[in-house]
Amino acid sequence: MKALDELTFDNRFARLGDAFSTHVLPEPLDNPRLVAASPAAMALLDLDPAVAESPVFAELFGGHKLWAEAEPRAMVYSGHQFGSYNPQLGDGRGLLLGEVYNQAGEHWDLHLKGAGQTPYSRMGDGRAVLRSSIREFLASEALHALGIPSSRALCVIGSDTPVWREKQERGAMVLRLAPSHIRFGHFEFFYYTKKPEQQKQLGEHVLAAHFPECLEQPEPYLAMFREIVERNAELIAKWQAYGFCHGVMNTDNMSILGITFDFGPFAFLDDFDAHFICNHSDDQGRYSFSNQVPIGQWNLSALAQALTPFISVEALRESLGLFLPLYQAHYLDLMRRRLGFTQAEDDDQKLVERLLQLMQSSGVDYSLFFRRLGEETPEQSLARLRDDFVDRSGFDAWAELYRQRVARDPIQGQDLRRERMHAVNPLYILRNYLAQKAIDAAEAGDYSEVRRLHQVLSRPFEEQPGMDSYAERPPEWGKHLEISCSS
């Protein structure tokens, strides 16, 4: 394991030059202190988890100190926000401190969020507040533990720095890791500003650094775009299967690597609602839960437009046509496993759709239903779950089809069935009310609940003694929390 001063930097993105980013130093937080750190994320940098408790840790990730090899840069990009093109966005409160590679040869961006003003802050203060930093820290690690590709969060640093949003809050910084923070909006920026040389330079960098296998194909850019389509189809299938709502699927918040990031007002479904809107600011419901699939395809088409200098329109359209079939295949495969099936049948999609319709009309808890479905034999589980449904006759009809479907599946034995289902059906998810309770405690100076919740969510599929309260249905107040982008 390494100490903090032993990290090895290789700042590839910074070497692209000033057309791609601007050198900016972090603005230090007042009295920085550790709120929480993720040992699993620290391991990605080969860091000893014990260094998180050292004073220099909070100073480094609170903006007071910097490695000599770091080159903090604010990236420039553009993007479509709520469907409208914004010509220049960029890192308005974040800095790419540099790229570190570990002993396995993996490169990780060190991206400090809440680091102060940059040339792209657009009248903002460049700060992040404690509540949003805690939410990102918890969500990043929770998504990863569920098997959903995501940026990672190494730590949250709190402070005494006052920050004004709807009220006065305290500033914080979150250090997030990803193999790359390049977005769809990076390509859009150079396309719409008509800078073909920089766009080609960006494309060559992305191919070499992140899609080297595509360089061996006859059309590297086309191979890369197809890979991006495939990764995003699988990503959004996992969002939908686990009831995750991103909240702000602007093209500047979409990763070229197909990972989840820049999710501010996110939520996991409590009661199943296909039309759920998790972002209080999304008046039209553009980014509702049910819209995430078509919006994913829309965003890929916006990226395709930006790649027309490199790829024919016909080939781009053909590649975009792969998105929905790939999404449906990934989604149905995961939903089959959540229902305990090991083989595919033609009517499985209808069985899933009918279940979701029944859950919608009865307000059934999405995550707990699947977990409880695998607890006992199908007959016992269905008998217990029946009481959650208003339409009893409708549920009974579905349950009979489900029992017949289970009987046809080759898996044998309830113990094996429970093991397989519990491996994909989490007992613990990051419900908004759980995050809010941890935030309330942290804002009062008690960080223990943030750390405890993080530990629980790092093992979402395993029953953890003494943690029953984290697996309960939320109270009514917890289902109606309003989350906005004002972080």
pLDDT in tens, 3-49: 999 999 999 999 999 999 999 999 999 999 999 999 999 999 999 99
User: What b-and-e string marks burial along 285-296, b requiring 16 or more CB atoms within 10 Å of the CB?
Assistant: ebbbbebbbebb
The region of weakest confidence among 282-291, 325-334, 347-356 is 282-291
Chain Cα centroid distance, residue 289: 14
pLDDT surpassing 90 at residue 478: no
What's the predicted TM-score (pTM) here? Answer: 0.97
Q: For residues 462 and 423, what is the distance between their CA atoms, to the nearest angstrom?
A: 8
CA distances to 178, 199, 271, 275, 449 from 328, in Å: 27, 32, 23, 19, 38
pLDDT higher than threshold 70 for residue 54: yes
Burial of 162 (0-12, 13-18, 19+ CB in 10 A): exposed
pLDDT, position 482: 73
pLDDT tens per residue, range 265-310: 999 999 999 999 999 888 888 999 999 999 999 999 999 999 999 9
482: amino acid identity, one letter:
E
Query: Which DSSP string do the residues of 385-436 spell out, in sequence order?
Result: HGGG-S-HHHHHHHHHHHHHHHHHSS---HHHHHHHHHTTS-S----HHHHH
Computed over every residue of the chain, the mean pLDDT equals 96
Instruction: For residue range 214-235, list pLDDT tens digits in order.
Output: 999 999 999 999 999 999 999 9
pLDDT reported for residue 20: 98
Catalytic residues: 252
Return the minimum-mean-pLDDT range out of 276-285, 299-308, 449-458, 467-476.
Answer: 276-285
pLDDT of residue 486: 58
Q: Are 129 and 165 in contact (CB under 8 A)?
A: yes
**According to the model, what pLDDT value does residue 1 have?**
85
- The Cβ-side half-sphere exposure at 173, using a 13 Å CA radius, reads 36
DSSP-derived letter for residue 163 is E
Angle at 137 between CA 75 and CA 270, to 5 degrees: 120
**Could you give the angle at which helices 392-408 and 378-385 cross, rounded to 10 degrees?**
160
pLDDT value, residue 45: 98
Exposure pattern of 1-22 as b/e (b: 16+ CB <10 Å)?
ebebeebebebbbbebeeebbb
Rounded Cα distance, 69 and 23, in Å: 14
The CA distance from 485 to 487, in Å, is: 6
* Mean pLDDT along residues 114-132: 95
Phi-psi label, residue 453: left if phi above 0, alpha if psi -120 to 50, beta otherwise: alpha
| DSSP assignments along 238-291, one per residue | HHHHHTEE-S---GGG-BTT--B---SS-EE-SB--TT---BTT-TT-TT-GGG
Alpha helices, DSSP H, located in 5-79? 39-43, 55-60
244 token code pair: 């995750």
Return the amino acid letter for 193: T
CB contact at 8 A, 375 and 363: no
88-120 residue pLDDT tens: 899 999 999 999 999 999 999 999 999 999 999
Beta-bridge mates of residue 483: 279
Distance separating alpha carbons of residues 386 and 383, to the nearest angstrom: 5
DSSP state of 344: -
- What is the signed CA dihedral for 209, 18, 129, 173, rounded to 10 degrees? 60
SS3 97: strand
Pair type for strands 33-37 and 73-75: unpaired
Measured between its terminal Cα atoms, the distance across the chain in Å is 34
User: Is 413's pLDDT higher than 90?
Assistant: no
At residue 485, the pLDDT reads 63
Count Cα neighbours of 430 within 13 Å in the Cβ-side half-sphere: 31
What is d(CA 229, CA 319) in angstroms, rounded to the nearest whole number? Answer: 7
Provide the pLDDT confidence category of residue 264 given band limits of 50, 70 and 90. confident
